[in-house]
Amino acid sequence: MIGIGFDVHKLVEKRPLVLAGVTIPSEKGALAHSDGDVILHALCDALLGAMGVGDIGDHFPDTDPQWKGASSSVFVHHVTLLMQERRLFIVNIDCTLVLQEPKIAAYKHEMKSAIAALCSIPESRVNIKATTNEHLGYVGRNEGVHAFVVCELQKL
Ligand code: MG
Protein backbone atom coordinates (compact mmCIF):
# COMPACT_ATOMS: atom_id res chain seq x y z
CA MET A 1 0.00 0.00 0.00
CA ILE A 2 1.17 3.48 -0.93
CA GLY A 3 0.43 6.67 1.02
CA ILE A 4 1.13 10.33 0.42
CA GLY A 5 1.26 13.14 2.97
CA PHE A 6 1.60 16.89 2.63
CA ASP A 7 1.94 19.56 5.28
CA VAL A 8 2.55 23.28 5.49
CA HIS A 9 3.25 25.57 8.42
CA LYS A 10 3.69 29.30 8.68
CA LEU A 11 7.17 30.40 9.80
CA VAL A 12 7.43 33.08 12.48
CA GLU A 13 10.17 34.51 14.69
CA LYS A 14 10.80 33.21 18.21
CA ARG A 15 9.61 29.67 17.48
CA PRO A 16 11.86 26.60 17.21
CA LEU A 17 12.29 25.01 13.79
CA VAL A 18 11.70 21.28 14.31
CA LEU A 19 12.03 19.06 11.25
CA ALA A 20 11.82 15.25 11.44
CA GLY A 21 12.22 15.53 15.20
CA VAL A 22 15.46 17.52 14.93
CA THR A 23 15.65 21.11 16.21
CA ILE A 24 17.53 23.16 13.62
CA PRO A 25 19.10 26.55 14.39
CA SER A 26 16.97 29.12 12.58
CA GLU A 27 15.70 32.67 12.98
CA LYS A 28 12.17 31.39 12.34
CA GLY A 29 10.17 28.34 13.34
CA ALA A 30 6.72 26.90 12.72
CA LEU A 31 3.62 28.55 14.15
CA ALA A 32 1.52 25.60 15.29
CA HIS A 33 -0.65 24.05 17.98
CA SER A 34 1.95 21.26 18.29
CA ASP A 35 5.68 21.60 17.58
CA GLY A 36 4.80 22.21 13.91
CA ASP A 37 7.09 19.51 12.53
CA VAL A 38 5.96 19.48 8.88
CA ILE A 39 7.95 16.36 8.01
CA LEU A 40 6.52 14.25 10.83
CA HIS A 41 3.01 15.57 10.14
CA ALA A 42 3.32 14.67 6.45
CA LEU A 43 4.79 11.30 7.47
CA CYS A 44 1.77 10.57 9.71
CA ASP A 45 -0.57 11.45 6.83
CA ALA A 46 1.38 9.23 4.42
CA LEU A 47 1.24 6.27 6.82
CA LEU A 48 -2.45 6.86 7.65
CA GLY A 49 -3.15 7.20 3.93
CA ALA A 50 -1.44 3.91 3.12
CA MET A 51 -3.57 2.24 5.83
CA GLY A 52 -6.70 3.95 4.49
CA VAL A 53 -7.65 5.36 7.90
CA GLY A 54 -8.12 9.08 7.35
CA ASP A 55 -5.73 11.85 8.25
CA ILE A 56 -3.80 13.41 11.10
CA GLY A 57 -6.67 15.79 11.88
CA ASP A 58 -9.02 12.83 12.42
CA HIS A 59 -6.62 11.14 14.82
CA PHE A 60 -5.09 14.15 16.62
CA PRO A 61 -7.59 17.04 16.42
CA ASP A 62 -6.06 20.39 17.35
CA THR A 63 -9.17 21.13 19.42
CA ASP A 64 -8.16 18.33 21.80
CA PRO A 65 -6.10 19.74 24.72
CA GLN A 66 -4.17 16.46 25.10
CA TRP A 67 -2.27 17.30 21.87
CA LYS A 68 -1.47 20.93 22.79
CA GLY A 69 2.29 21.43 22.50
CA ALA A 70 2.71 17.71 21.80
CA SER A 71 5.91 16.57 20.19
CA SER A 72 5.03 15.24 16.76
CA SER A 73 7.01 12.11 17.60
CA VAL A 74 4.03 11.21 19.83
CA PHE A 75 1.78 11.30 16.74
CA VAL A 76 4.18 9.08 14.79
CA HIS A 77 4.29 6.65 17.70
CA HIS A 78 0.47 6.37 17.75
CA VAL A 79 0.44 5.80 13.99
CA THR A 80 3.07 3.04 14.25
CA LEU A 81 0.83 1.31 16.82
CA LEU A 82 -2.04 1.35 14.27
CA MET A 83 0.35 -0.25 11.76
CA GLN A 84 1.33 -2.95 14.26
CA GLU A 85 -2.34 -3.77 14.93
CA ARG A 86 -2.74 -4.33 11.18
CA ARG A 87 0.53 -6.31 10.93
CA LEU A 88 1.93 -3.78 8.46
CA PHE A 89 5.58 -2.83 8.09
CA ILE A 90 7.26 0.07 6.29
CA VAL A 91 8.99 -0.78 3.02
CA ASN A 92 10.29 2.77 2.57
CA ILE A 93 9.65 6.42 3.39
CA ASP A 94 10.65 9.21 0.99
CA CYS A 95 10.47 12.83 2.22
CA THR A 96 10.81 16.11 0.34
CA LEU A 97 11.21 19.30 2.35
CA VAL A 98 10.67 22.66 0.64
CA LEU A 99 12.30 25.38 2.74
CA GLN A 100 14.03 28.58 1.68
CA GLU A 101 16.16 29.12 4.80
CA PRO A 102 18.17 27.80 6.53
CA LYS A 103 19.96 25.16 4.48
CA ILE A 104 19.39 21.80 6.16
CA ALA A 105 21.99 19.68 4.32
CA ALA A 106 24.09 19.33 7.48
CA TYR A 107 21.08 17.90 9.37
CA LYS A 108 19.74 15.45 6.79
CA HIS A 109 21.50 12.45 8.26
CA GLU A 110 20.28 13.26 11.77
CA MET A 111 16.73 13.68 10.44
CA LYS A 112 16.92 10.36 8.62
CA SER A 113 18.19 8.64 11.78
CA ALA A 114 15.42 10.21 13.85
CA ILE A 115 12.68 8.97 11.49
CA ALA A 116 14.22 5.49 11.33
CA ALA A 117 14.34 5.35 15.14
CA LEU A 118 10.76 6.62 15.53
CA CYS A 119 9.50 4.02 13.07
CA SER A 120 11.85 1.23 14.26
CA ILE A 121 13.21 0.64 10.76
CA PRO A 122 16.71 0.71 9.28
CA GLU A 123 17.97 4.09 8.03
CA SER A 124 18.30 2.56 4.57
CA ARG A 125 14.48 2.63 4.33
CA VAL A 126 14.29 6.40 4.85
CA ASN A 127 15.23 9.12 2.38
CA ILE A 128 15.29 12.87 2.99
CA LYS A 129 15.40 15.34 0.14
CA ALA A 130 15.41 19.11 0.47
CA THR A 131 14.97 21.96 -1.95
CA THR A 132 14.50 25.69 -1.73
CA ASN A 133 11.55 27.32 -3.48
CA GLU A 134 13.83 29.48 -5.67
CA HIS A 135 12.61 32.56 -3.74
CA LEU A 136 9.14 32.13 -5.30
CA GLY A 137 5.89 32.59 -3.37
CA TYR A 138 5.40 32.36 0.41
CA VAL A 139 7.90 29.52 0.85
CA GLY A 140 10.42 31.48 -1.21
CA ARG A 141 9.89 34.53 1.05
CA ASN A 142 10.57 32.24 4.06
CA GLU A 143 7.02 32.78 5.35
CA GLY A 144 6.22 29.07 5.28
CA VAL A 145 7.59 25.56 4.92
CA HIS A 146 6.24 22.56 3.00
CA ALA A 147 6.86 18.83 3.31
CA PHE A 148 5.75 15.95 1.10
CA VAL A 149 6.14 12.33 2.20
CA VAL A 150 5.43 9.12 0.29
CA CYS A 151 5.57 5.69 1.90
CA GLU A 152 4.96 2.06 1.03
CA LEU A 153 3.60 -0.44 3.54
CA GLN A 154 3.38 -4.21 3.27
CA LYS A 155 1.64 -6.95 5.24
CA LEU A 156 3.96 -9.00 7.44
MG1 MG B 1 1.05 20.27 10.50
Cβ pair 46, 6 in contact under 8 A: no
**Spatial separation of the C-alpha atoms in residues 148 and 106, rounded to whole Å:** 20
Q: Residue 32: its pLDDT value, please?
A: 85
pTM higher than the cut 0.85 = yes
Give 93 Cα–ligand 1 centroid separation in angstroms: 18
Give 7 Cα–ligand 1 centroid separation in angstroms: 5
Contacts of 126 (CB under 8 A, 6+ apart): 92, 93, 95, 112, 115, 116, 119
Give 141 Cα–ligand 1 centroid separation in angstroms: 19
Q: Rounded mean pLDDT of 102-112?
A: 97
Write the DSSP assignment of 18-65 as a string of letters.
EETTEEE--SEEEE-SS---HHHHHHHHHHHHHHT---HHHHS-TT-G
Give 55 Cα–ligand 1 centroid separation in angstroms: 11
Residue from 97, 102, 98, 96 nearest 29 by CA:
102
**Spatial separation of the C-alpha atoms in residues 126 and 58, rounded to whole Å:** 25
Q: What is the DSSP letter of 152?
A: E
Residue from 129, 133, 132 nearest 148 by CA:
129
| 11 phi and psi angles, rounded to 5 deg | -100, 130
Give 109 Cα–ligand 1 centroid separation in angstroms: 22
- Identify the weakest region by mean pLDDT among 30-34, 82-86, 134-138: 30-34
Q: Residue 71: its pLDDT value, please?
A: 86
Give 147 Cα–ligand 1 centroid separation in angstroms: 9
Q: How many domains does the chain have?
A: 1
Domain range for 52 is 2-155
Query: What is the domain-level CATH number for residue 125?
Result: 3.30.1330.50
Q: Residue 111: its pLDDT value, please?
A: 98
